[in-house]
Each structure stands twice: as C-alpha cells, then as structure tokens.
Amino acid sequence: MTQEELMKRRMIRAIVLFSLTLLALLIFIGLYVDETNRVQETYRTQFNSYLTQASTSIDSYLNAEGDFPLRYRRILSDISSANSFAFLMTGLTEEQKRSFNELQTCLMKYPEQMQDKTRLEAMKTAIKDIGENLDKGFEEAAEVVASIDKKGF
C-alpha cells in the first residue's frame, strides 16, 4: 500500500467516525429536549393539582364553623407547594413567578389580614384563573397582595 492509499483510508475512517459522532450527538439532544418537555409537563400538572387543592382548602375555610387555624395552614401549605413548582416551571415569566411568590409571602406574614373573607374569595378567583392558565389570574393575585397593609398586622 502506498502512502496515498493509507491517507485516503484514514480520511474515510475519520469522516465516518465524525458522522457517527454527530448523529449520536443529535440523538442525545433530541432525547434531552423530549425529557425536558416531559418534566415541565409534570411540573405543570403538579402546579395545577396544588392550585386545585388550594381552591378546595379556601372553600373549606370559608364554609367551616371551626378549626380555622388548621384550615388556614392547609391553604398556606397548598400555596407553598404550588409556589415551589412555579419556581421550577419555564412557562411562567419572572413577573408571574414573583406575583405568586408575593401571594405566598402575604399568606405567611399577614395571616390576620389574609383571613378576611373578601381577600380569600379574591385569592380563590385568582388561583382558579391561574390554574386555567389565564394571565389575569396573576394580576388578580397582585391586586390581593396590593390590598394588604404591609406595615400592620
């Protein structure tokens, strides 16, 4: 074999290896994107599940005749869990995430004000709209947060 034939074989081998490597990389990228979408869908499902539970907990609180602290802690727990998933989701803007986080913060820091019936009903409406993927839900949540006197209890 001549030197030229050896170089041709090496170049063909290099081109084949490069093609296989490129194909493997493209397959890996495709699998990664698919898995990322699947995980995001799981986050969305969990987020909506906790929003539904929070809405049910608010109904339970509003219709209850006793044990209000326990029912309020359920609302807080459901909103906190939903907020955790909202943080992980890529479909929400930073402003929407901040709005939802502020709602959770108000529930934690100002329970006396948040236990007001009108605020809970407004929060329930906001939560339902957020669960239905409507942008106005985040605006309604921001309105609930804005109605809180942050200097008082």
CATH of 42-146, one of 2.60.40, 3.30.750, 1.10.150, 1.20.120: 1.20.120
3-state helix, strand, coil in the chain (%, to 5): 85, 0, 15
The four Cα atoms 92, 48, 142, 104 give a dihedral, to 10 degrees, of: -110
Spatial separation of the C-alpha atoms in residues 121 and 28, rounded to whole Å: 48
68 contacts 61 by C-beta, under 8 angstroms: yes
State the pLDDT at residue 153. Answer: 55
Per-residue pLDDT tens for 75-92? Answer: 999 999 999 999 999 888
**Residue 69 backbone dihedrals phi, psi, to 5 degrees:** -60, -40
- Terminal-residue alpha carbon distance, the chain: 90
State the pLDDT at residue 43. Answer: 94
* Cα–Cα distances in angstroms (integers) from residue 146 to residues 41, 54, 103, in the given order: 31, 20, 10
φ/ψ region of 133 (left if φ > 0, alpha if ψ in -120 to 50, else beta) reads left
What whole-number percentage of the chain has pLDDT above 90?
Answer: 63
Spatial separation of the C-alpha atoms in residues 141 and 102, rounded to whole Å: 8
Per-residue pLDDT tens for 116-136? Answer: 889 999 999 999 999 888 888
Q: Which two tokens stand for residue 12?
A: 């063909």
Per-residue pLDDT band at 152 (split at 50, 70, 90): low
Comparing CA positions, the residue from 144, 125, 135, 55 lying closest to residue 92 is 135
Spatial separation of the C-alpha atoms in residues 133 and 126, rounded to whole Å: 11
**Residue 67 backbone dihedrals phi, psi, to 5 degrees:** 60, 45
